[in-house]
Structure 1
Amino acid sequence: MMPVNQAEAKILDLMTPLDAKQDSESVSLLAADGRILAEDVVSSLDFPHWDNSAMDGYAVRFMDTKTEGAGKPVSLTITEEIPAGYLPQQSVGAGQAARIFTGGMLPEGADTVIMQEHTQREGDRIFIMEPPKRGDFVRRQGAYYKAGQTLLRAGTRLGAADIAVLAAAQCPQVQVYRRPRVAILSTGNELVSPEQPLQPGQIVDSNQYALAALVQRTGAEAICLGIVPDDPDQLKAAIAQAVAQSDMVLSSGGVSVGDYDYVDRILADLGGTLHIRAVAVKPGKPLTVATLEREGRSHLYFGLPGNPVSALVSVWRFVQPALRKLSGITTDWRPTFVMGHPSQLLKSDGKRETYLWGSTYYLNGAYEFNLAGGSHSSGNLINLAQTNSLAIIPIGQKQIPIGGSVRIILLD
C-alpha cells in the first residue's frame, strides 16, 4: 500500500493541466463565475481613474486650512458643488473651497478634503472647526492599480470580487479554460439506477450521482455513462469510450481483489500504465490510478472503491486536487487542512491513515470537530449527509482524546 502523501504527490505529478491556447474559450462576465483565467488580464485604466473624494465634505488647498489664531476658525468661500459623476468646472484658488460628495472628482488646485462634520456653513462660506491633515480623504489616481500592470493572473478562479474588478476595468469578455470533461461510470452486476424497482440482493447506484455532483462542484463537466455489468468485454468497451470522450475517467467498483474485479486487467489490456493499486487509507484502500495515452494527451484514470463512503473520501482526498490542477488553477490544489479539537473521542486501529466524518465549526477562536453519530462504515451513507469535514487519525495512532489536537480536512 502506498502512503497517502506519496499517493497525493504521485497523482499531482501525473496530472497535466489543460493547454491555455488549445483548451480555452471567451466568455462574458455573467458566465465567468467559477471559471479559470487562461491568460493574464491587463487594464488600460488607473484605479482610481482620477483623484476623488472618500468623504462628503469640502475640497480645499491644505495651505489655506491653517488656523489664524486661537479660537478663530479659518473661513473659505464655496465656489462650486461637485457630486459623483460631475466634471469640476472651476479650480480651487486661495481662500476657496468646493462642496464635494463621496466619489466626486477632485477639482484642480485642491489637495485635501475636510469632512463636513468638521465644518460649519453659513451661506456660501464654511468655517473649519477642526483642521485637517494634508491629503485627508483624497483617493489618488492610480493608488490601487497602475494601468499596464497585471490585474489578474492566469490560473485564477474567478469569484464575485474578481468579476467586479473585471467589470470596473471594462473587460466584458475574458479568456478562460474550458471546463474539463470527466467521464463517470459504475461497475457491478448488483447495481440498479434510482428509477428501477429494487430487487432482493440489488444495490442502488448512488456513486454515479455523488461523483457527478463533486465533479461539477469542482468546476468540471460530468459525463455520466451509467452502469456497466461485471463483464470484461462490456467493461473494456465502456472504459475505451470513456477515455475517448473525456479528459479524466472515474469508475467505481471492480478494483479490489475479487473474482469480478476486472478494471486493473482491462486498463493494462488498453495500454494503460498502472501507477497506484492501493493506498494506506481508511476508508478507500483499493484505489487504482492509471494513465492512458490518447491522441497525444495523457488521460488520468481513477478506479475508485465501490463502497460509497470510500468512493467519496477518495475523491475528496485525491481526485479533486488532480481536477483542480487539470482545470488550469496554478496553486492550492490540495484540500484545505486546519488544526482543531474533537468534541468526542476519535478511534482508529492505527494501521492506516483513518478519516472520520463529521461537522466542524469555528468556535471561540478554534476549530471544533463533531463526529457524526452512528456507524463509520464505508458502506454507510446515511450519517455522511450534511457533514462538512474529515478528521484524520495518522498511521500508528489509535485515538485522539476529547480536546486533543486533530488535523481536519474542510470539504467544499
Structure 2
Amino acid sequence: MTPPEHAPAPGGPRTVDEHRAVVASLVPPAPVVEVPLSQALGRVLAADVVATVALPPFDNSAMDGYAVRAAEVAAASEDAPVALPVAEDIPAGRTDVPTLQPGTAHRIMTGAPMPAGADAVVQVELTDGGVEQVAVRRGPAAGTHVRRAGEDVRPGTTVLTAGTVLGPPQVGLLAAIGLPTVAVRRPPRVLVLSTGSELVEPGAPLAPGQIYESNGPMLAAAVREAGGEAELLRFVPDDVEVFASLLAEKAGDVDLILTSGGVSAGAYEVVKDALRDRGVEFVRVAMQPGGPQGAGRLDGDGPAVVTLPGNPVSSLVSFEVFVRPALRAAMGHPHPLRPVVSAALAEALVSPPDKRQFRRGVLDASDGTVAEVGAPASHLLASLALADCLIVVPEGVSAVDKGVAVEVWLLEA
C-alpha cells in the first residue's frame, strides 16, 4: 500500500468510526421479552438458562435390545449362547417398569427406562430376537448401551449463557430441559421510509423521468436479515409537509426511522429539510460510497433516526457499516459485525486517500484472493448483487498493488 498522504483536517468530515459510534449510541439494548420456543429461532438469549432437570432424566437404553444383568451373560458366545426368559417388554414411554429378576431379561426399546436390577443392554443384533425367550450370543460389560441420568446435563447446570444466538440445537436443548418459553431481546422495530417523487412501484409503467423504487425493499430486507422488524413506507413524495405528517403518524410505534435519499447538498432534499431542526445532525463522513449521512433522535426524545444517501449502493453499504451492527448489538449479538478476513487483491486498485473505501468484491476461497466486481460508482446495483464481500481500503491509502492483503467483510447471513 502507498503510505498515508493525509487525514481529514480538523473540523472536516466525520470519520467512519466516529459516525458508527454515533449511530450505535442511538440504538440502546432492546427490551427483554418472553417468547414461545416456536418463535425463538435466530433470537438472542437475554439471560442465562439454568437447567432444573437432569438430561437424560432417568437411566435409559441407548439401543433396541434386552436389559440384562451383565454377569449372567458374560460367558455367552456364538457357539454357546446364554438363554434367558423374556419377562417383560419395556417400550419407550412406559412408566410402570418392573424390577429385572435374576435369571431373566426384559426386551427394551431405545429411550425406554432401564429396569432396576439391570446393568447392561444387549443389542438385538447380538441375539436371536426372541420374544418369550432370548438367546444371547455375546455378553456385554456392565454399563454397555446404558444412558445414565444426568450424563448430558445435571440440575443446576448453566446450559446456555446470555448472548447466545438460538439455532436449532439450542432450541432443542431448551425444549429437552422442559422450557416452553425463553427470554430474548425483542427485535428493533424499524420504519423504512423511501422518499422521492420520481419513484414508481415495480411492475407499474414508467413515465419519463421515473424509476422503479428499490432502496425501500432493499433496506427493509436488510433490516430483516439483521434480525429486526421492518415496516416499509413507500413513495413518500418530495414534500416536507407530507413527510412530517407521515412521521407524526408512524414515529410513536418504532425504535428507528431509516430513510434513504434527500440528504445531499442539492435542492429538494426533503429529508434534510424536514429533520435538520428536529434533532437530526447531517454530516459528511470520510467514506466512499456513502459520504452524506444523518443521525439523531427525533425531537430530542423520540425514536432514533438514521438517514442514508439515496444512491442504492451508497445506501446499502451505509447500512452495512452503520446500521446493521447497531441493530445486532441492540439485540445482544455477541458478534454484531460482519466476519472479517484478510485476502490478497487479484488486481491493483486506486482509492481516494482522504476516504475509507468499500469496494464490491468476490472472494476466491480456492486461492485466498479477492477481486473487485464492477466499477466503484454508487449507482451500480447489479455489481453489488454479484458481490459476496466488501473490500475495505483504509483512509490515507491511494493505491493497493496486486497481491497485497486487504481487509474483507464477508456478506453472509
Q: Above 0.5 in TM-score?
A: yes
Equivalences for residues 398-409 of structure 1 within 5 A: 398-399=399-400, 401=402, 404=405, 406-409=407-410
Higher relative contact order (CA 8 A, sep 6+): 2
Q: Deviations over 1:329-351 (max 9, x none)?
A: 35222223234456x32524152
What fraction of aligned residue pairs are identical, expressed as a percent?
36
**Partner residue in 2 for 1:49:** 57
Deviation at 1:205, TM superposition (A): 2.2
Which whole-Å CA distance do the structure 2 matches of 1:53 and 1:278 have between them? 66
**Partner residue in 1 for 2:219:** 211
Letter in 2 for 1:105: P
**Partner residue in 2 for 1:394:** 394
Deviation at 1:380, TM superposition (A): 1.0
Equivalences for residues 10-409 of structure 1 within 5 A: 10-20=22-32, 24=33, 27-37=35-45, 44-64=52-72, 66-67=74-75, 75=82, 77-79=84-86, 80-87=88-95, 89-92=97-100, 94=102, 96-117=104-125, 124-127=133-136, 129=138, 131-132=140-141, 134-153=142-161, 156-174=164-182, 176-194=184-202, 196-261=204-269, 263-264=271-272, 266-270=274-278, 272=279, 274=281, 277-292=283-298, 299-326=303-330, 328-340=331-343, 344-345=346-347, 347-349=349-351, 351=353, 352-360=355-363, 363=366, 369=370, 371-372=372-373, 374-395=374-395, 396=397, 398-399=399-400, 401=402, 404=405, 406-409=407-410
Which whole-Å CA distance do the structure 1 matches of 2:112 and 2:316 have between them? 54
* 1:405–1:259 distance in 2 versus 1, CA, 3 Å: closer
Q: Deviations over 1:340-365 (max 9, x none)?
A: 456x32524152332232444655xx
Deviation at 1:303, TM superposition (A): 0.9
Task: Find the residue that maps to 2:298 and give its secondary structure.
Answer: strand
The root-mean-square deviation of aligned C-alpha atoms, in Å, is: 3.7
Which whole-Å CA distance do the structure 1 matches of 2:404 and 2:102 have between them? 68
Task: Find the residue that maps to 1:59 and give its secondary structure.
Answer: strand
Which whole-Å CA distance do the structure 1 matches of 2:392 and 2:85 have between them? 67
Q: Deviations over 1:84-132 (max 9, x none)?
A: 2234643335555433332222111223334444567788354453653
Which whole-Å CA distance do the structure 2 matches of 1:346 and 1:113 have between them? 66
**Partner residue in 1 for 2:14:** 2
Which is further off, 96-105 or 233-242? 233-242
Deviation at 1:174, TM superposition (A): 4.5
Letter in 1 for 2:298: L
Contact kept? 1:55, 1:101, Cα under 8 Å: yes
Which whole-Å CA distance do the structure 2 matches of 1:131 and 1:33 have between them? 41
Paired residues in the alignment total 397
Deviation at 1:290, TM superposition (A): 1.7
* 1:90–1:292 distance in 2 versus 1, CA, 3 Å: same
Letter in 2 for 1:399: V
Which whole-Å CA distance do the structure 2 matches of 1:362 and 1:75 have between them? 58
Contact kept? 2:61, 2:112, Cα under 8 Å: yes
Which whole-Å CA distance do the structure 1 matches of 2:400 and 2:406 have between them? 11
Contact kept? 1:45, 1:169, Cα under 8 Å: yes
TM-score by length of 1: 0.79
Contact kept? 1:400, 1:406, Cα under 8 Å: no
Deviation at 1:159, TM superposition (A): 3.3
Deviation at 1:209, TM superposition (A): 1.3
Contact kept? 1:339, 1:406, Cα under 8 Å: yes
Contact kept? 1:278, 1:286, Cα under 8 Å: yes
Contact kept? 1:346, 1:399, Cα under 8 Å: yes
Contact kept? 1:392, 1:406, Cα under 8 Å: yes
Mind listing any 5+ residue stretches in structure 2 that lack a counterpart? 1-12
* 1:234–1:121 distance in 2 versus 1, CA, 3 Å: closer
Which whole-Å CA distance do the structure 2 matches of 1:238 and 1:400 have between them? 49
Which whole-Å CA distance do the structure 2 matches of 1:401 and 1:97 have between them? 73
